Amino acid sequence: MTARTPLMAGNWKMNLNHLEAIAHVQKLAFALADKDYEACEVAVLPPFTDLRSVQTLVDGDKLKIKYGAQDISAHDSGAYTGEISGAMLAKLKCSYVAVGHSERRQYHGETDEICNAKVKAAFKHGITPILCVGEGLDVRKAGNQVAHTLAQVDGGLKDVPAEQAATVVIAYEPVWAIGTGEVATPEDAQEVCGAIRGRLAELYGQEVADKVRIQYGGSVKAGNVAAIMAQPDVDGALVGGAALDAEEFVRIVRFRD
């Protein structure tokens, strides 16, 4: 079995301007520098308008914190007003990009086909996609969370070759747990994350499946992260609200301390 370094990523959503972003990343860097903190990989996903400032800080101070975007255009360039391309994100040295976050699916009509095109755009430009999947409350109540989520995995990774799939990050985020304070139980998280790894093994073989990092996201906080991270198929957390508080996010990152 491949050892997987946990990825703790903060999705800032539409919060923190570029000045606040600098102060926030400085706080994270300071709090994670007192010992050589390498137990986890740490990433922030700020709004597009913050990325240049974050890049300058991370590059200038040689910080280990990674950063990425919350969305990517499926197109490379052209008449797509308001869109940001993978080439632009790559130029800013983004390591990651979230694809298909439930808020993109809900408010911007992003289908699995669109997510698939965005996953491919990210890989084309050397950026690791964090493919977000997960069921809504109605699906959960009907007990169809596994089938629903696996269909999103299949759709998002359609025609993605094994060598790329081995590096993708998948974030299982039950929609009913996002920003609601409702956290899935560790067993709920493991049920679906384990099923995702099983599907990856069917699609690409066990060796590839064992390399993929699968995050849980949905009201993760310092108080609940350790139990979730103890699950065998959970390799990190995608953190929304709690990532806006630098001290809380550091406590989440240091869940093992």
Binding site members for substrate: 11-13, 179, 219, 240-241
CA distances from 42 to 10, 64, 77, 212 (A): 8, 8, 30, 16
The answer to whether residue 75 is catalytic is: no
Smallest gap from residue 138 Cβ to ligand PEP (A): 18
Choices 74-82, 87-95, 133-141, 214-222 (CB under 6 A): range interacting with ligand PEP = 214-222
- Locus of tokens 């596994």: 146
Question: Is 238 near ligand PEP (CB under 6 A)?
Answer: yes
Known binding residues are 11-13, 179, 219, 240-241
In the bound state with ligand PEP, the residue whose beta carbon lies nearer, of 104 and 254, is: 104
* One of 10, 11, 21, 40 touching ligand PEP (CB under 6 A): 11
Residues 144-203 interacting with ligand PEP (rule: CB under 6 A): 173, 178-179
Amino acid identity, residue 95? S
Amino acid identity, residue 93? K
The answer to whether residue 101 is catalytic is: yes
Task: State the catalytic residue, choosing from 41, 103, 135, 173.
Answer: 173
**What span, in angstroms and rounded, lies between the C-alpha atoms of 152 and 148?**
7
Q: What is the dihedral of CA 23, 28, 32, 37, to 10 degrees?
A: -130
Check if the beta carbon of residue 28 is closer than 8 Å to that of residue 18.
Answer: no
Q: Which of 125, 123, 142, 148 is nearest to 199 (CA)?
A: 148
**What span, in angstroms and rounded, lies between the C-alpha atoms of 77 and 81?**
10
Question: Is 130 near ligand PEP (CB under 6 A)?
Answer: no
Question: Is 10 near ligand PEP (CB under 6 A)?
Answer: no
Task: State the catalytic residue, choosing from 101, 110, 125, 191.
Answer: 101
**What span, in angstroms and rounded, lies between the C-alpha atoms of 162 and 158?**
11
Q: What backbone phi and psi angles, to 5 degrees, belong to 108?
A: -125, 15
* One of 70, 85, 215, 219 touching ligand PEP (CB under 6 A): 219
* Token couple for 29: 């860097």
Using CB under 6 A as the binding criterion, the count of chain residues that bind ligand PEP stands at 14
Smallest gap from residue 103 Cβ to ligand PEP (A): 7
Closest residue to bound ligand PEP by CB = 240
* Residue ranges binding ligand PEP (CB under 6 A): 11, 13, 173, 178-179, 217-220, 238-242
Query: Catalytic site residues?
Result: 101, 173
